[in-house]
Structure 1
Amino acid sequence: MSPDAPPVRALIEASHALMCALFPADENHMLDLDALAGPDVRLWGAEAEAEVLGCVALQRHAGYGEVKSLFVAPEARGLGLGRKLLLHVEAVAREEGFSLLRLETGNKLAAAGALYAQSGYRQRGPFGGYAANGSSVFYEKPLGGGARISG
């Protein structure tokens, strides 16, 4: 899915607006549209009736995949789309040979933190180029060989 498609762009811009409203600029680690279109990133959307209601991206790193840009439009929250998107990115990461997923989220995003915890992610310290700050919460999940999830 291209981040430049108008409905996808609108959803990503809504996500960015929320992050900018909640967190200081230097503690925001969202990928911009150019980065989301980069060769090391894959982006998916959840659609219903030609409307994009959610998105998630997988950024590839040496030794692990990183979940980025998981966002569900306010009008679609509570439908389980966040969980479906997370399961999808996990399945793709497994297919691509990753044994570990990591992510960074904000401490004011309680629903996101609950989703990650319920999905088997465990808190950890900063990784990659991230530094500890007042807003970021870091998670990881080993992707063992168990049942495959198709999405």
Structure 2
Amino acid sequence: MIDALRIVPDDLSGDQVLALLQFHLDEMHKWSPACKVHAMPAERLRQADVAFYSAWDGERLAGCGAIKHLDEGHGELKSMRAAPDYRGKGVGKAILLHLLTVARERGYTRVSLETGKPEAFRAARQLYLANGFVECPPFGDYVSDAFSMCMTRAL
């Protein structure tokens, strides 16, 4: 577990952040058909309805995550990613807890997400389940199928 992780709002202009997001997109395309990749590119994450955060261990990028505004009571988690060297060290949980705090501060009553069903997404699903998320029907434009599932958590 990382003790001194610093999670801050990020404008997606730094090379380390952009490289991690590209890595994230590349992995999503490796693990899912293109039509099932719902990860947002940097230009979409910069839009006003998304708040993006980066997590730092000193000067090293440890991970990132975002929350997208869906409506007055509902937010969606996006681009949750631990850097490869930080997987399994608590970075994902720290970012998740930070985003849940942001959601509460915004007055959301629930937070939802879409994740993959293939084995490559098991660690992510376990993180969400361990932190109070449950599988739910699709929301927004998502559909439940062999590759995709939605999860939600009441706040």
TM > 0.5: yes
Identity %: 34
Of the three residues 141, 146, 153, the one matched with 1:129 is 141
2:130 and 2:143 map into 1 onto residues whose CA distance is 25
SS of equivalent to 1:39:
coil
- Report the AA paired with residue 31 of structure 2: L
1:89 and 1:104 map into 2 onto residues whose CA distance is 15
**Gapped runs of 5+ residues in structure 1?**
144-151
Q: How many angstroms does 1:59 deviate by?
A: 0.2
1:70 corresponds in structure 2 to: 80
Q: Which aligned runs of 4 or more in structure 1 are off by greater than 3 angstroms?
A: none
**Gapped runs of 5+ residues in structure 2?**
1-9
Q: Does 1:142 align with 2:151?
A: no
Cα RMSD after superposing both structures: 0.9
Aligned counterparts, 1:14-33, within 5 A = 14-33=23-42
Aligned counterparts, 1:1-151, within 5 A = 1-62=10-71, 63-108=73-118, 109-143=121-155
2:140 and 2:25 map into 1 onto residues whose CA distance is 21
2:26 and 2:50 map into 1 onto residues whose CA distance is 21
1:149 corresponds in structure 2 to: none
Contact 1:11–1:53, Cα closer than 8 Å, also in 2: no
Contact 2:110–2:153, Cα closer than 8 Å, also in 1: yes
SS of equivalent to 1:44:
strand
SS of equivalent to 1:113:
helix
Query: What TM-score, normalized by structure 1, do the two folds share?
Result: 0.92
2:19 and 2:62 map into 1 onto residues whose CA distance is 10
SS of equivalent to 2:19:
helix
Contact 2:39–2:79, Cα closer than 8 Å, also in 1: yes
SS of equivalent to 1:38:
coil
Tell me the matched-pair count. Answer: 143
2:32 and 2:60 map into 1 onto residues whose CA distance is 28
Q: How many angstroms does 1:105 deviate by?
A: 0.5
Q: How many angstroms does 1:9 deviate by?
A: 0.3
Contact 1:27–1:133, Cα closer than 8 Å, also in 2: no
Query: Deviations along 1:88-110, whole A, 9 cap, x unmatched?
Result: 00000000110100000111200
